[in-house]
Amino acid sequence: MGPLAAIRIRQIAFIPATMLSLTYWYTALGLWCTAGIIWLTLYTHFLITHVQPVVVLWISALLLGLGYGAVTCLSRFGTVVATLIYIAIITLTGVSLAYLFSSGATIFVIVGIMFSLNALFIFYLNISSGLFRPLIFMAVSGIIAAIVVNSLVASSTMVWIVSMLTVLVWTLITALEKSTLHGYARMLYHSEFSSLLRCALFGALTLYLGIINAVVTLCRYIILMILEILLSFRP
């Protein structure tokens, strides 16, 4: 292996700090928009007066299906299509959570603050996600944000617990999606049709949909497990 090839491999082994910072900003923006939709839906009493529970269940099912489908074939989309999908998923998430969990706005604000702080941290210190420090800072900053926000709005014990768990889960998802984000970084170096904006948007969608993808995968494994148990009782 020549020296230039070795430099090239080392160059794409880590996510460029600018791309990762922009990815976190897009993720934070999506989370804050979701919180705004939750608040707006609750403030206008739209779901309570106009929408039946079965409709919300259908919306939730559509959200899970759209989210899982978007994750599996995300790299095929262009920037405009990915943006429209992001907006649609944000809207569906906000409407669903406004009916299912009214305090979701507080939690999404907290996680959005966590990602925005990490975007600043990575941008100004020029640290890529190849190191563990950004993930440690993410968990710590998320917990601090949860303590501050929950104290300011006098959240219930349930919201405190859910917000802390959400911070930890999203930090774990970010760590698990590191290889996917590396793939988007390689697109910057190898593809003529990939821009920083497109790759960062893909990264934000991947992180935003991480929980949805985890829920769908968990449900699939549970269903398969139940089917195996039922089939084992067949004569």
Q: Where are the domains of the chain?
A: 16-232
Mean pLDDT of the chain: 75
Query: What confidence category does residue 6 fall into, taking pLDDT thresholds of 50, 70 and 90?
Result: very low
pLDDT average, residue stretch 83-99: 82
**Structure-token pair, residue 154:** 């006098």
Instruction: Collect contacts of 128-131 with beta carbons under 8 A, ≥24 apart.
Output: 128/14, 128/15, 128/16, 128/17, 128/20, 129/14, 129/15, 129/20, 129/174, 129/178, 129/181, 130/13, 130/14, 130/15
Whether the predicted pLDDT of 125 surpasses 80:
no
Nearest to 28 by CA among 115, 122, 94, 89: 115
What pLDDT digit, counting tens, does each position of 147-165 carry?
999 999 888 888 899 889 8
What pLDDT digit, counting tens, does each position of 19-34 carry?
888 888 999 999 999 9
- The whole-number pLDDT of residue 52 equals 57
- In the numeric block, the tokens 């082994």 are attached to 13
Q: How far is CA 169 from CA 3, 166, 186, 234, in A?
A: 40, 5, 26, 38
- The whole-number pLDDT of residue 198 equals 78
Range name among 42-46, 74-78, 125-129 with the lowest pLDDT average: 125-129
CB 177 within 8 A of CB 208: no
Interacting residues of 27 by C-beta distance below 8 A, sequence separation 6+: 112, 115, 203, 204, 207, 208
> Per-residue DSSP letters for 171-215?
HHHHHHTHHHHHHHHHHHHH-TT--HHHHHHHHHHHHHTHHHHHH
Q: What percentage of the chain reaches a pLDDT higher than 70? A: 64
- The whole-number pLDDT of residue 177 equals 78
- The whole-number pLDDT of residue 162 equals 87
- In the numeric block, the tokens 């170096």 are attached to 189
Whether the predicted pLDDT of 43 surpasses 70:
yes
DSSP classification of residue 132: S
Query: What confidence category does residue 7 fall into, taking pLDDT thresholds of 50, 70 and 90?
Result: very low
User: In whole angstroms, what is the distance from residue 233 CA to residue 113 CA?
Assistant: 50
Query: What confidence category does residue 215 fall into, taking pLDDT thresholds of 50, 70 and 90?
Result: low
